[in-house]
Amino acid sequence: MTNFWRYRLFLPALVLLVGSAFAAYGAAPVKKSALPSKAKGAKIKCWYFSQKNMIFGDCEIYVCPQALKVTFANEKWANLAKPPDWDLLVFSPKAKIYCRTPLKEWRGRKLATAYVNGVKRLGKTEKVAGMTAKVYDAQSMEADGRAVSRIFVAEELGLPPQVSVILCGNAAIPQVKGIPLRVLHSGGEAPGRTVDTYVAKQMMMPAKFFEIPPGFRRVIKPEEVMTGGISDIIEDMAK
């Protein structure tokens, strides 16, 4: 199941990342947000989620009304977004470079890579990582239509809708209201989970954590971003 989903979803994920890099070409400088003061010791309360993600890799999500940051276990990519525009910053911790994509452009590409549609709320809840999750059903976009997906979503966390746009995109599902905690597939060629959450809790993080790390530079050419991370992903897929 692991290899099937990684290879099946690798191409749309690659398109999403490459598209983000090309949209960054000639982009305006990153805008400042309304995060608390970055004075020494300043902290901000956020939600923390530790997830297994078969699409982009295992990740840790830190999110609050003022910011979203997603770090990946492979340390090759990270996402950062903040108001007022919530544009997506994709940066490579290894190459110390980043690019910027307007959220509305990224959202369009995200919808094109979703592998389920017809999302419907079932009117029931289940527990995932200790959190109450609303349950949705969705139809797989497989040609034979045999597969069905079930999506578990944490709602009512007081987070802006832009957060859902980004995290649902990372889960390769259409936008739902809230944080996707689990995506479960039944039937079809590869039943199993493409997204699952193991830890969900609130915690305090330094305000400066939600900034591009010092010493990172904005890329001028998208090829620099691709060299900084996508080539490593391709190598992993070939192993």
Q: Considering only CA atoms, which of 116, 93, 119, 117 is closest in space to residue 229? A: 93
Per-residue model confidence (pLDDT) at position 108:
67
**pLDDT-based confidence at 206, cuts 50/70/90?**
very high
Mean pLDDT value of segment 88-109: 83
Task: Report which secondary-structure segment, H or E, holds 88.
Answer: strand 88-92
The length of the chain, given as a count of residues:
239
> Would you say residue 207 has pLDDT above 50?
yes
Map 197-220 to HEC letters: EEEEEEEEEEHHHHCCCCCCEECC
Q: Are 148 and 191 in contact (CB under 8 A)?
A: no
Domain ranges of the chain: 2-109+207-238, 112-200
Per-residue model confidence (pLDDT) at position 51:
96
Instruction: Name 20's Cβ contacts closer than 8 Å, sequence gap at least 6.
Output: 88, 90, 99, 101, 106, 109, 225
Q: Are 167 and 182 in contact (CB under 8 A)?
A: no
The 10s digit of each residue's pLDDT in 23-56 is 443 334 444 455 555 556 789 999 999 999 987 7
Residue of higher predicted confidence among 202 and 2: 202
**pLDDT-based confidence at 164, cuts 50/70/90?**
very high
Q: Given CA atoms 42, 214, 170, 198 in this order, what sign does their dihedral have?
A: negative
Mean pLDDT (the chain) is 77
> Would you say residue 134 has pLDDT above 60?
yes
> Would you say residue 191 has pLDDT above 70?
no
Bridge partners for 197 per DSSP: 51
Per-residue model confidence (pLDDT) at position 86:
94
Q: Strand 88-92 vs strand 78-81: parallel, antiparallel, or unpaired?
A: antiparallel
> Would you say residue 62 has pLDDT above 90?
yes
Q: Are 136 and 153 in contact (CB under 8 A)?
A: yes
**Highest mean pLDDT out of 25-34, 132-141, 212-221:** 132-141
Residue of higher predicted confidence among 236 and 74: 74
> What is the separation of C-alpha 138 from the centre of its chain, rounded to a whole number of angstroms?
19
> Would you say residue 239 has pLDDT above 80?
no
The 10s digit of each residue's pLDDT in 220-236 is 654 565 566 454 455 55
Mean pLDDT value of segment 62-73: 95
Q: Considering only CA atoms, which of 190, 215, 168, 156 is closest in space to residue 70? A: 168
- Is 45 in a helix, a strand, or coil? strand
> Would you say residue 160 has pLDDT above 60?
yes
Per-residue model confidence (pLDDT) at position 26:
39
Q: Whole-angstrom Cα distance, residue 146 to residue 148? A: 7
